[in-house]
Structure 1
Amino acid sequence: MAQNSSCYKRPNILITRNPGTRNTTTATSLAVVTELRHINIGDFANEENLTNDWNDTFDCYYINEESKT
């Protein structure tokens, strides 16, 4: 199937690593170099009230996977 260039969209790149291993720094740098938009899923989840309690072990919020938006 030929790709229609008028429908071409920029790629989604998902960077996942353990919390606290500089994934945000890596993703931000990649976004600058590639001129793509960077969305921090943790920030997005907080802004949309999709998080539960804080996890001290992993230094991040629990994402509420049951939320329906």
Structure 2
Amino acid sequence: MLYVDDKKAKRLNDKAILIRWHKLFKGTLLTQKYLQGDKLDKAQQFFLNRTIADYRKRLADISWFMRVLNEDIK
């Protein structure tokens, strides 16, 4: 049985979301740059925020998780 703790997922800060994502996937150059502590300009920050929002949704989505699991099995 799978369970998603939505409250906990929403409490995680941006860095925690990216660290969890990078445990599963390579991420983007922008997410890697952010985790290395590099400064981002406004445009980069805008796109990073959108990426983090997508990652947050995906990490809390059981159907997305199952699809990713299934890709490795094939």
Classify the TM-score, shorter chain: under 0.3
Greater share of helix: 2
Q: Which has the larger radius of gyration?
A: 1
Could you say which structure has the higher strand fraction?
A: 1
Higher relative contact order (CA 8 A, sep 6+): 2
TM-score in terms of structure 1 length: 0.24
Superposition TM-score, scaled by structure 2 size: 0.23
